[in-house]
Chains A and B, each alone.
Chain A
Amino acid sequence: MEWTDERFKVYQQLMKEIQAVDFVLVELNLYLDTHPNDQQAVEQYNDYVRQSAALKSRFQSMFGPLYGFGNSYTTCPWSWKEAPWPWQV
């Protein structure tokens, strides 16, 4: 698909939202590794898992798979290998 300025803006916006939510998950994951009984953190973690999944399914329906090796559905033609790669944007 053609990369118009508009499309690129949407890509960046959605990507930023995913990065923000996934950052919380990384942070909570490390915290829970050393505080496994913190009930509140566990609830927060599960809540962000849901948010992340919802954002990613929206992103992937517009811009293709975020994951290879069976962790995302694919379209035909195979779009996983298509640019942009993270260092290109």
Chain B
Amino acid sequence: MWVYEKKLQYPVRVNKCDPRMAKFLIEQYGGADGELAAALRYLNQRYTLPDRVIGIVNDIGTEELAHLEMIATMVYKLTKDATAEQMKEAGLGPHYADHDKALYFHNAAGVPFTATYFNAKGDPITDLYEDIAAEEKARATYQWLINMTDDPDLKDGLQFLREREVVHSQRFREAVEILKEERDAKRLF
């Protein structure tokens, strides 16, 4: 089971109401390379992975849930004071019509979240390669998002998340090496 902590992993601040930026950020909430897809991918894969790498996949999956909460907090703060008119101007009219200010798992273009965004092939090295690619794609997405805002507080939170993807990618690469070593050691005997 999980234990909820009444704290964010890293402080989330925004210095203005900016529903347009929220529309872009939702990519990392319910998009293909977003935090929900990441958390579900890893937490689902861990059941059938070899013991030596379950820990790292379990723990990165857990950290992704904290990132999901950070993204949600950004979206919430960027839209909470917006009027219906401002939502409409920001391109969030279709979202507002269906959800008001409630968050919804879709990408920046409004496409609903789907389990087809990630896989579980059952071949551990193949699955870890997918994880490495997912982290690199998330890192790139964070960079594109950073490029689109001039809010220094928001940039700070996004930079934290971008750096975490770099670390996760590194840890998954190490997990691949651990499995390769294990495989090669088996061949020797």
A67 with B3: CB separation less than 8 A: yes
Q: Among the listed stretches A1-9, A11-19, A37-45, which one makes contact with chain B, having 4 or more residues with CB under 8 Å of it? A: A11-19
- Give Cα A35–Cα B3 distance, bound, in whole angstroms: 25
Instruction: Knowing A19-B11, A87-B76, say if A65 contacts B6 (CB, 8 Å).
Output: yes
Interchain CB contact under 8 A, A29 and B10: no
With A30-B56, A34-B56, A87-B72 as contacts: A23 and B9 at CB distance below 8 Å: yes
Which among A15, A33, A66 is the interface contact of B55 at CB below 8 angstroms? A33
Q: How many residues of B sit at the interface, in one of the four size bands?
A: 20 to 34
Complex CA distance for A36 and B63, rounded to whole angstroms = 19
Residues of A within 8 Å of B178, CB to CB, are: 34
Interface majority SS on B: helix, strand, loop or mixed?
Answer: helix
Check B5–A66 contact: CB distance below 8 A. yes
Q: Does B171 contact A (CB under 8 A)?
A: yes
**What residues on B are CB-neighbors of A30 within 8 Å?**
56, 59-60, 63, 167-168, 171
Q: How far is the CB of A60 from chain B (nearest CB, A)?
A: 10
Instruction: Look across to chain B and name the residue whose beta carbon is closest to the beta carbon of A64.
Output: B6
Q: Which of B6, B59, B72, B167 has the largest count of A CB atoms less than 10 A from its CB?
A: B6
Chain A residues in 8 Å Cβ range of B136: none
B60 and A86 contact, CB distance less than 8 A: no
Confirm or deny: A78 has a beta carbon within 8 angstroms of a beta carbon on chain B: no
Contacts A/B (CB < 8 Å), 7 sampled:
A15-B11, A16-B11, A19-B8, A26-B63, A29-B59, A33-B59, A67-B6
Interface positions of A (Cβ within 8 A of B): 15-16, 18-19, 22-23, 26-27, 29-31, 33-35, 65-69, 71, 80, 85-87
* A-B interface, 8 closest residue pairs, ranked by CB to CB distance from nearest: A33-B56, A87-B73, A34-B174, A33-B55, A86-B8, A66-B6, A30-B171, A87-B76
B contact residues vs A (CB 8 Å cutoff): 3-12, 55-56, 59-60, 63, 69, 72-73, 76-77, 167-168, 171, 174-175, 178
